[in-house]
Homo-oligomer: A and B are copies of this chain.
Amino acid sequence: MTRVAIVGCGVVGSSWALVFARAGLQVTVWDAIPAAVEQTLAFVKSGAKALDQQGLGNGESVDAITARLTGCATLEDALDGVDYVQESAPERVEIKRELYRKLDSLAAPHVVLASSTSGLPASSFTEELANRARCLVVHPINPPHLIPLVELVPAPWTRPEIVDEAAALMEKIGQSPIRLSREINGFVVNRLQSALLGEAFRLVEDGLCSAADVDKAVADGLGLRWFFMGPFETIDLNAASGVAEYCRNLGPMYYGLAKEQADPREWGPALVKEVESQRRTVTTAGALPARRAWRDRCLAAFVAAKRRVMSAEGT
């Protein structure tokens, strides 16, 4: 049975601790700031309780889940006997470099060192390590205890077996891993989001429609399919014989649009001010915290609904 160390106890590390513990794994928890460890232990308790209430529990008691966690006073203790480290330290390359020097020297040679970083390639902080071939990025979408997608991104020197091992672990604990063949800015998720955001800002900057209308186009339109099908499956099912027919019919139209969308734009001060001002008429600054709570409730409810439907469908 895999044993896991959580290194770095912020929002992301805390959610990871819940993900691993609810999946039945023993989890050690460490942070450079001892109080952060306590926060993670408290988060797993409240998070497991919330999942139960949201219809997302695994049938176990909260105590059974939290009993798998061990807060550690030292990094050495946290790494003792583990097979996999999920690191979620601050997103600064010098912090990661220093931390990975310690991790690489303290962790047994077989231990996978996985970083939650969203922006730094593993090559930027593992190059000089003796055992750098066991390092990779395992990037979650926050919060991983609700959103299953994780991006596995190897450095040029990551051994393929390490990626296999991380992928198998993610599948086993109920996450949804995807594999990138190499490092690339933004990985896959932020590149896709960038493409959509780029056009969203372009439409508002050009006065075509309001930011609220762009949001409706997604939340009341495109997003209803993207919730359970990706863009390729969507178009594949939209032509009688599949995606090749779709591309034959509509490829030229999309190429025309792509050429119109090929002007990368900075989100300049006037545009940002305009979007900010439009957003504040929908949700005032004071109402943002309540709206975030709304978002979190909705996300949990929809993840639960998706699990029910997909389970009934057997997919």
Given contacts A214-B188, A230-B214, A254-B194, contact A279 B209 (CB under 8 A): no
Sample of 13 further A-B pairs with CB below 8 A, known A212-B230, A217-B230, A298-B313? A149-B216, A176-B216, A178-B213, A178-B214, A185-B257, A188-B203, A192-B199, A194-B199, A218-B226, A222-B226, A225-B299, A232-B275, A251-B267
Please count how many residues in chain A sit with their CB below 8 Å of the partner chain's CB atoms: 110
Q: Is the CB of A272 within 8 A of B243?
A: yes
**Residue interface mask A216-228, B partner, CB < 8 A = 1:** 1111111111111
Q: Is the CB of A264 within 8 A of B272?
A: no
- Select A276's contact among B231, B244, B264, beta carbons within 8 Å: B244
Q: Is the CB of B257 within 8 A of A194?
A: yes
Q: 6 closest pairs, A vs B, by CB? A: A215-B230, A149-B221, A258-B264, A223-B226, A178-B213, A305-B305
- Select A198's contact among B243, B258, B273, B285, beta carbons within 8 Å: B258
- The secondary-structure label for the interface of chain A is helix
Smallest beta-carbon distance A221→chain B, Å: 3
- Is A53 part of the binding interface, using a Cβ–Cβ cutoff of 8 Å? no
- Select A215's contact among B229, B302, B305, beta carbons within 8 Å: B229
Smallest beta-carbon distance A56→chain B, Å: 13
Which residues does chain B contribute within 8 Å of A303, judged by CB atoms? Answer: 224
Q: Is the CB of A217 within 8 A of B151?
A: yes
Which residues does chain B contribute within 8 Å of A159, judged by CB atoms? Answer: none
- Select A241's contact among B141, B151, B272, B285, beta carbons within 8 Å: B285
